[in-house]
Copies of this chain bind each other. A is one copy, B any other.
Amino acid sequence: MGRGEAVTQRTLDPPFGGSNPPAPTRKILWKAMDISEAELIRWIRSLASPFQKKALVGIGDDAAVIKGREGYSYLFTTDTLVENVHFRWEFVHPYQLGWKALAVNASDIAAMGGYPVFALVTFGIPTSFLSSRVKEVYKGLVDLSTRLNLEISGGDIVRSRIFFISISVVGEVEAGRAVLRSGAKPGDSVYLTGDIGRAATGFLSLKEGKKLHLPSATDSLRRRWLMPFPRIKEAREIAMGGVATAMIDLSDGLSSDLYHILEESGVGAEIWEKNLPIASETEKVCHELNRSPLEVALHGGEDYELLFTAPATTNVEKIVSFQVTRIGKILEGSGLFLLNKKGERKKLKSGGWDHFLSTAP
């Protein structure tokens, strides 16, 4: 362990904190992280990739794909919710938080065309918490796990100054049936399950609703943000029907998540404003909140619907038993464009849902 010795030396003379306070110039940088999340992930991926030889699919999709029991692949994914970053106790009941923490993980398994089977659950708990709150979180989690026929098979409980819940899920999909982000081809159609902008509007109504005296029509929108139901059933039809060339779940928002597919597939896309499925209640509440329903639908996250591509020749509507909407098409090259209602074609930035929004007062 030669490296180990060298490093031990460094620790005895600690480079951060302790007796070596950072120099003034360093302090300035210290104020804000000097790298974007996307850049950090790219760096991590570049460091880890040379060693990726055993996973069928590694870093860069909704879940890793590894060999499973005979005839199957396992899907392996993790997602974490942190207090005051992804949620505030003011807006979410502990029961709902437990439900949601598992739902977002199961949704990553759905995004691969699979179903969740096992979960490990880690709680970071401040010592100041009442156990009743932690138990409510756990009840929400167990209730969703029962509905999904998913087993909680372990986990960890750690003390932490802020509450967090980190879940890892193992799912399953028939060998060769996993739907990746990387399979979209020019000419493919782009599809959505359900409607979009619902969760973000629900969240905004929770955050801003009191001062606006919103009507009760927001309940179903808020419920979507608080207790999303992962689209496992729909994902299974899509995967087993061999319908999709690429798929992802909508967590960061349509523009961001479609952009992930484009990046991994090396293609571009155009989406059509007139086809975007936005519910009338979403539009109504957006107007009351002085928000553009289109902006919320394009960039608002956490609907946990499925976004997928399929060959233009595939009659998706006839194959699947649920509602889908064709919202655009895949193009050669790169870039994401919006064809607006006037027929104008505009470059669309992957705005994305800032989960950090939830901390705004």
With a cutoff of 8 Å between Cβ atoms, the chain B residues found around residue A155 in the complex are 44, 59, 78
Contact of A170 among B51, B85, B170, B223 (CB under 8 A): B170
Which of the four size classes fits the interface of chain A? 35 or more
Q: Which of A52-69 contact B (CB under 8 A)?
A: 52-55, 58-59, 61, 63-64, 66-69
Instruction: Tell me whether B129 and A89 are in contact (CB under 8 A).
Output: no
11 A-B pairs whose Cβ atoms sit less than 8 Å apart in the complex: A8-B223, A11-B91, A14-B90, A44-B155, A51-B151, A52-B151, A53-B151, A55-B118, A68-B68, A76-B120, A85-B158
Contact of A161 among B19, B84, B95, B130 (CB under 8 A): B84
Give CA–CA (A76, B155) in the complex, Å: 10
Instruction: Tell me whether B54 and A7 are in contact (CB under 8 A).
Output: no
Most buried by B among A34, A95, A151: A151
Contact of A156 among B80, B117, B158 (CB under 8 A): B80
With a cutoff of 8 Å between Cβ atoms, the chain B residues found around residue A229 in the complex are 1
* A138 contacts partner chain B, Cβ-Cβ < 8 Å: yes
* A124 contacts partner chain B, Cβ-Cβ < 8 Å: yes
Which 6 A-B pairs give the minimum distances between C-beta atoms? A18-B90, A64-B153, A168-B168, A35-B131, A11-B93, A17-B89
> Contacts A82-B158, A161-B161, A226-B8 given: A17-B131 contact, CB under 8 Å?
no
Instruction: Tell me whether A160 and B158 are in contact (CB under 8 A).
Output: no
Instruction: Tell me whether B128 and A32 are in contact (CB under 8 A).
Output: yes
**How distant is A206 from chain B, measured CB to nearest CB, in Å?**
8
Number of copies: 2
A38 (CB) vs chain B CBs: closest residue:
B157
* A145 contacts partner chain B, Cβ-Cβ < 8 Å: yes
Q: Which residues of A contact B (CB under 8 A)?
A: 1, 3-5, 7-8, 10-12, 14-19, 26, 29-35, 37, 40-41, 43-44, 47-48, 51-55, 58-59, 61, 63-64, 66-70, 74, 76-80, 82, 84-86, 88-96, 99, 117-118, 120, 122, 124-131, 133-135, 138-140, 142-143, 145-146, 151-162, 164, 166, 168, 170, 219, 222-223, 226-227, 229, 356
> Contacts A32-B128, A80-B166, A89-B18 given: A4-B227 contact, CB under 8 Å?
yes
Instruction: Tell me whether A154 and B77 are in contact (CB under 8 A).
Output: yes
**How distant is A75 from chain B, measured CB to nearest CB, in Å?**
10
Give CA–CA (A145, B168) in the complex, Å: 19
**How distant is A46 from chain B, measured CB to nearest CB, in Å?**
11
Give CA–CA (A303, B30) in the complex, Å: 34
> Contacts A118-B76, A122-B166, A160-B164 given: A10-B93 contact, CB under 8 Å?
yes
Instruction: Tell me whether B156 and A78 are in contact (CB under 8 A).
Output: yes
Assuming A33-B128, A58-B152, A85-B160, what are 16 further A-B pairs, CB within 8 angstroms? Answer: A1-B229, A8-B96, A11-B226, A12-B222, A18-B89, A18-B91, A37-B157, A51-B145, A59-B155, A74-B170, A76-B168, A77-B120, A78-B122, A80-B124, A85-B159, A160-B164
